[in-house]
């Protein structure tokens, strides 16, 4: 076998020319096969990796969707004292994320998963808070069981607003109501705080223009609120 570069004669099995050191036909063929094998292995590895990521993505998406759907269904049928609205919002966001994933396939799946989980946690917390507020709004005092706090308060106070107010020092959930009314012939701002226990709640405080009312005045004011509703309807 002769070298293509310098013309020197070499052994038939030589991979390199003994004179100039250039690759012979055998050496070039072996190099091409090796390079092709490496490229094929790398491509196969990438395909397998993509398959694993895709499978993992489907599993994670399935779990997240199942949790959201369970909470949504439970809220709608009354199994949970939660508002279904945050979960409807989550489903809308999930749909939007799917569009983003298809439009920008290079976005790492773990990043999408992290965003989905964070949003789901926020939605669950929002639903819990809304559920606590709703339990107070739909509740009624023992001496007036046919009228809810929401009906009486929204009728008596202007600019009525209900919201979750965190927890007290003992870990009980709090709901805060704010509104405006006439108090001793003066247009006043009212703040009523409810303390929510496992299966009941109480009016824990009431303020008028920032001044906290005592227990007697608080319950007298609450009674006035419900009496006015009864007179109106």
For the stretch 180-218, pLDDT in tens is: 999 888 999 999 999 999 778 999 999 999 999 999 999
Last residue of a domain, one of 85, 103, 134: 134
Q: Could you tell me if residue 104 is inside a domain? A: yes
**125 and 154 co-located in one domain:** no
**129 and 166 co-located in one domain:** no
In sequence order, which residues have a C-beta less than 8 Å from that of residue 82 and are 6 or more positions away? 71, 74, 75, 127, 128, 130, 131
Q: Could you tell me if residue 144 is inside a domain? A: no
Q: Could you tell me if residue 14 is inside a domain? A: no
Q: Could you tell me if residue 156 is inside a domain? A: yes
**153 and 208 co-located in one domain:** yes
**163 and 221 co-located in one domain:** yes
Q: 146-151 — which CB contacts under 8 Å span 24+ positions? A: 147/226, 147/229, 147/230, 149/177, 151/229
Is the model's pTM score more than 0.85?
no
Last residue of a domain, one of 75, 108, 134: 134
Between 171 and 107, whose confidence is greater?
171
Task: Read off the pLDDT band of 24 (50, 70, 90).
Answer: low
Q: Could you tell me if residue 39 is inside a domain? A: no
Q: Could you tell me if residue 45 is inside a domain? A: no
- How much of the chain, in percent, has pLDDT values that exceed 70? 64
Task: Read off the pLDDT band of 77 (50, 70, 90).
Answer: very low
Query: How far apart, in Å, do the first and last CA atoms of the chain sit?
Result: 112
Last residue of a domain, one of 79, 109, 134: 134
**58 and 127 co-located in one domain:** yes
In the chain, the number of structural domains is 2
Q: Could you tell me if residue 129 is inside a domain? A: yes
Q: Is the pLDDT of residue 122 over 60?
A: yes
**99 and 170 co-located in one domain:** no
**163 and 129 co-located in one domain:** no
Structural domain of 105: 52-134
SS3 185: coil
**94 and 161 co-located in one domain:** no
The secondary structure element, H or E, covering residue 208 is strand 201-208
Report residue 18: phi and psi, to 5°. -70, -15
**126 and 160 co-located in one domain:** no
Give residue 63's pLDDT.
66
Give residue 180's pLDDT.
96
**95 and 122 co-located in one domain:** yes
Q: Is the pLDDT of residue 128 over 70?
A: no
Give residue 83's pLDDT.
58
Task: Read off the pLDDT band of 166 (50, 70, 90).
Answer: confident
Q: What is the mean pLDDT of residues 219-230?
A: 92
Task: Read off the pLDDT band of 80 (50, 70, 90).
Answer: very low
Task: Read off the pLDDT band of 124 (50, 70, 90).
Answer: low
**60 and 97 co-located in one domain:** yes
Rounded Cα–Cα distance for residues 137 and 186 (Å): 26
**109 and 162 co-located in one domain:** no
């Amino acid at each position: 076998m002769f070298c293509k570069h310098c013309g020197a004669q070499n052994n038939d099995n030589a991979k390199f020319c003994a004179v100039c050191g250039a690759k012979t036909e055998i050496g070039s063929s072996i190099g091409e096969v090796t390079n092709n094998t490496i490229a094929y292995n790398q491509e196969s590895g990438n395909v397998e990796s993509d398959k694993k990521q895709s499978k993992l993505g489907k599993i994670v998406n399935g779990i997240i969707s199942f949790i959201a759907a369970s909470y949504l269904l439970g809220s709608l049928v009354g199994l949970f004292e939660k508002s279904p609205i945050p979960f409807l919002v989550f489903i809308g966001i999930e749909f939007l994320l799917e569009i983003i994933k298809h439009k920008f396939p290079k976005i790492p799946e773990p990043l999408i998963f992290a965003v989905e989980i964070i949003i789901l946690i926020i939605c669950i917390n929002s639903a819990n808070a809304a559920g606590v507020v709703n339990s107070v709004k739909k509740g009624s005092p023992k001496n007036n069981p046919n009228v809810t706090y929401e009906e009486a308060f929204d009728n008596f106070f202007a600019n009525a607003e209900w919201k979750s107010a965190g927890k007290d020092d003992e870990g009980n959930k709090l709901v805060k109501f704010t509104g405006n009314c006439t108090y001793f012939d003066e247009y006043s701002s009212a703040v009523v705080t409810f303390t929510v226990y496992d299966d009941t709640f109480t009016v824990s405080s009431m303020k008028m223009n920032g001044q906290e009312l005592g227990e007697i005045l608080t319950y007298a004011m609450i009674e006035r609120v419900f009496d006015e509703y009864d007179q109106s309807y």
